[in-house]
Amino acid sequence: MKLLYARTSPYVRKVLVLAHETGQAEAIEIVPVTATPTERNPETVGHNPLGKVPTLVLADGTALFDSRVICEYLDARSAGRRLFPEGAARWDALARQALADGLLDAALLLRYERVMRPAAARWDAWEAGQIAKITDALDRIEATLAGSRNDPENDSGAGLDIGAVATGCALGYLDFRFPDLGWRTGRPAAAAWYAAFGRRPSMQRTTPQD
């Protein structure tokens, strides 16, 4: 398998964290590519017409995208730990993944607005709207974690599912790109949870770098 990869992408990180946690990281060949909203990478587009990473290319040439599909594929082929639970727990985990991915969607739009759009064309109301989404998502994460007793460092797997992985990668991206937002302020449960989850080897091995 080949993973079309950008080392700053939080969605790529989510895939890699799951791969490490399920013991499949060594089975994936990392292929660095450059992809931006304004410059489409021919190699990526050849496999994924959306031109986005992550894209996973299987041995037979089949391409899987986006991160949610790739994560579920890798989880289904895992011979060990599984991060997509069954029953009612599955819907809870998927909902938490969707919340974290939605936070990332807003954060990336905010990043593009600040970095890629010419200053004269920036829209303050757009930026405020994305920040509001991030803030509300963080408040929901805080409320959820405040009622949780799972230990994110427990290697038995307790509390470790796709929702936790997505949440950890989303919070990590805020640290990476938006330290000015101070997301920990007023959110002690989320701060404590991330401090522990961030120590997992899978997170340490996938720390984003410019």
Alpha-carbon gap, residue 18 to 40, rounded angstroms: 27
Alpha-carbon gap, residue 191 to 84, rounded angstroms: 24
- pLDDT value, residue 79: 94
The residue-averaged pLDDT of 72-87 equals 97
Task: Choose the weakest-confidence range: 9-23, 125-139, 156-170.
Answer: 156-170
- pLDDT value, residue 154: 62
* Residue 95 CA from chain centroid, whole number: 14
Residue 128 near residue 99 (C-beta atoms within 8 A): no
- pLDDT value, residue 36: 80
Q: What share of the chain is helix, strand, coil (3-state, %, to 5)?
A: 55, 5, 40
Alpha-carbon gap, residue 77 to 68, rounded angstroms: 15
Q: pLDDT tens digit string along 45-77?
A: 999 999 999 999 999 999 999 999 999 999 999
- pLDDT value, residue 174: 98
Q: Is the pLDDT of residue 7 over 60?
A: yes
The residue-averaged pLDDT of 144-173 equals 84
- pLDDT value, residue 151: 67
**Cα angle for residues 63, 2, 45 (degrees, 5° grid):** 45
Q: Is the pLDDT of residue 149 over 70?
A: no
How far apart are the two ends of the chain, measured CA to CA in Å? 25
Q: pLDDT tens digit string along 87-104?
A: 999 999 999 999 999 999
Q: Is the pLDDT of residue 38 over 90?
A: no
Q: Which domains does the chain have, with CATH numbers?
A: 2-76 (3.40.30.10), 88-204 (1.20.1050.10)
Q: Is the pLDDT of residue 193 over 80?
A: yes
Mean pLDDT of the chain: 94
Q: Give backbone dihedrals phi and psi of 131, rounded to 5 degrees, phi first.
A: -65, -40
The residue-averaged pLDDT of 157-169 equals 90
Residue 205 confidence class, pLDDT cut points 50, 70, 90 = very high
Alpha-carbon gap, residue 34 to 41, rounded angstroms: 6
Residue 30: other Cβ atoms inside 10 A: 12
Q: Is the pLDDT of residue 175 over 90?
A: yes
Residue 25: other Cβ atoms inside 10 A: 19
- Residue for token digits 């080392």? 7
Residue 85 near residue 41 (C-beta atoms within 8 A): no
- pLDDT value, residue 39: 86
Q: Cis omega before residue 66 (within 30°)?
A: yes
- pLDDT value, residue 155: 59
